[in-house]
């Protein structure tokens, strides 16, 4: 009986030490139970829930959200814009080097929301008459599907998407790079 009494305090001491080291490793708060009639003695509080993300729905910031393709015309070169989840973009203009734009350049939260509202872009079958000199065809590839000409739709979510893409093209300053005629500086 003396051995049990001698061993029991050591086991209790070691168990208390393990709980302390586990607590230090996990950084989880321990709530002491002050009611001697209930068990267990130590109850771990649940881990805090991380805050919700406000970034676009993407697992990797370099995930490609969509590619915008703009055909050339008599006065402009064809080009494509790859827009990534982190707001960066890469522009490929025919017969020119690639132009990269840094993270956060494109508002991808708005862009992703517009793409989700439109849904299956292959259902966009836009087609309309255009000038041979200035008329271009703008398509978008999203979720491995490609649209018809989104510049021919003048209402709803597709029009909002086209307006956003037009603003993005201006924001990236593409007009000075895609023109086949030299841009005259004032």
Q: Tens of pLDDT along 1-43?
A: 444 444 444 433 334 444 444 444 444 444 444 555 544 444 4
CATH class given for the domain over 64-178:
alpha beta
For residue 116, pLDDT over 90 is answered with yes
Confidence (pLDDT) at 181: 63
- Tell me how far CA of residue 136 lies from CA of 70, 105, 107, 168, in angstroms: 6, 24, 24, 16
Instruction: Provide the residue count of the chain.
Output: 186
- Please identify which residue in the block is written with the tokens 């909002």: 160
From-to residues of CATH 3.30.1560 in the chain: 64-178
How far apart (Å, rounded) are the C-alpha atoms in residues 72 and 146? Answer: 18
Q: What are the backbone angles phi and psi of residue 180, rounded to the nearest 5°?
A: -80, -15
Residue 101 corresponds to which tokens in the numbers above?
């734009």
150-168 mean pLDDT: 89
How far apart (Å, rounded) are the C-alpha atoms in residues 124 and 139? Answer: 9
Q: Could you tell me which of 66, 88, 68, 63 has the C-alpha nearest to residue 79?
A: 68
pLDDT class of 152 with cuts at 50, 70, 90: confident
Q: How many Å is the Cα radius of gyration of the chain?
A: 30
Q: Tens of pLDDT along 96-107?
A: 888 999 999 999
Q: Tens of pLDDT along 41-82?
A: 444 444 444 443 334 444 455 689 999 999 988 888 899 999
């Amino acid at each position: 009986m003396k051995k049990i009494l001698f061993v029991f305090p050591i086991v209790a001491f070691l168990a208390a030490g393990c709980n302390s080291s586990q607590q230090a490793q996990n950084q989880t708060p321990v709530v002491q139970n002050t009611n001697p009639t209930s068990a267990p003695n130590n109850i771990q509080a649940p881990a805090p829930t991380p805050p919700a993300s406000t970034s676009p729905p993407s697992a990797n910031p370099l995930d490609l959200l969509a590619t915008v393709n703009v055909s050339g015309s008599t006065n402009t070169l064809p080009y494509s814009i790859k827009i990534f989840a982190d707001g960066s973009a890469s522009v490929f203009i025919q017969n020119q080097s690639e132009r990269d734009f840094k993270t956060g350049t494109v508002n991808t939260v708005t862009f992703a929301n517009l793409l989700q509202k439109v849904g299956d872009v292959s259902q966009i079958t836009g087609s309309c008459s255009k000038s041979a000199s200035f008329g271009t065809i703008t398509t978008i590839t999203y979720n491995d599907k490609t649209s018809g000409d989104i510049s021919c739709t003048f209402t709803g979510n597709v029009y909002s998407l086209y307006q956003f893409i037009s603003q993005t093209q201006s924001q990236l300053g593409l007009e000075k790079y895609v023109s086949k005629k030299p841009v005259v500086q004032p």
